[in-house]
Amino acid sequence: MKKNLISAVLISATLVGCGDSKEQPSASTTAAPASSIVSSSDGSHQLTLKDGAKISVNGKLVRNVTFTNESGTFQRYIFDVDEKTMSIEGTLFADMAKSGYNRVIKTDSPEVYAVHYQKKGFPSVGATYTSLETKQPDENSKTRLMLLWKI
């Protein structure tokens, strides 16, 4: 009788474990894409963020990378743009403001201008504008723009 009882308990425990388990879908199959980029032959690029915000950049795309560290997974785009820093930032901030982002200035110096564009419920978008000015006054102004956000 004891053997039958122990066998019944073991079989019951095994069957309970085989019940309807609801498998959780992986984040990669259910999450919306972090961003997308459309590049034109004329050097213009349009980034679309997860929330639908659109950012336009006219320049050379130097690097597009996704990386992971101890703080999470991040998306980074680096552009070289033939414009002055504040001209680029004004255009980018206008794009971000249309989608409800606010600007928080982190660094303001002649060489580097860094800001975070923030919108409640979405990751901040960090932008660092680094002047690539040459010493020759007749040469065009250049700026390296780095955009970074957590995905």
* Residue 15 domain flag: no
Q: In one letter, which amino acid is 51?
A: D
Percent of the chain with pLDDT over 90: 60
Enter the tokens of residue 106.
């982190």
Structure confidence at residue 127 (pLDDT): 97
> What DSSP line would sit under 120-135, residue for residue?
TTEEEEEEEEEE---S
Q: What are phi and psi of 7, to 5 degrees?
A: -60, -40
- Average pLDDT of span 88-111: 94
Structure confidence at residue 122 (pLDDT): 93
CA 140 from chain center: how many Å?
30
Q: Residue 121 and residue 114: Cα distance in Å, rounded?
A: 21
Structure confidence at residue 67 (pLDDT): 94
Taking the model in full, what pTM does it have? Answer: 0.72
Structural domain count of the chain? 1
Structure confidence at residue 137 (pLDDT): 55
101 pLDDT above the threshold of 90: yes
State the DSSP code for 18.
Answer: T
* Residue 10 domain flag: no
40 touches 59 (CB < 8 A)? no
* Residue 5 domain flag: no
* Residue 87 domain flag: yes
Range of the domain at 84: 34-150
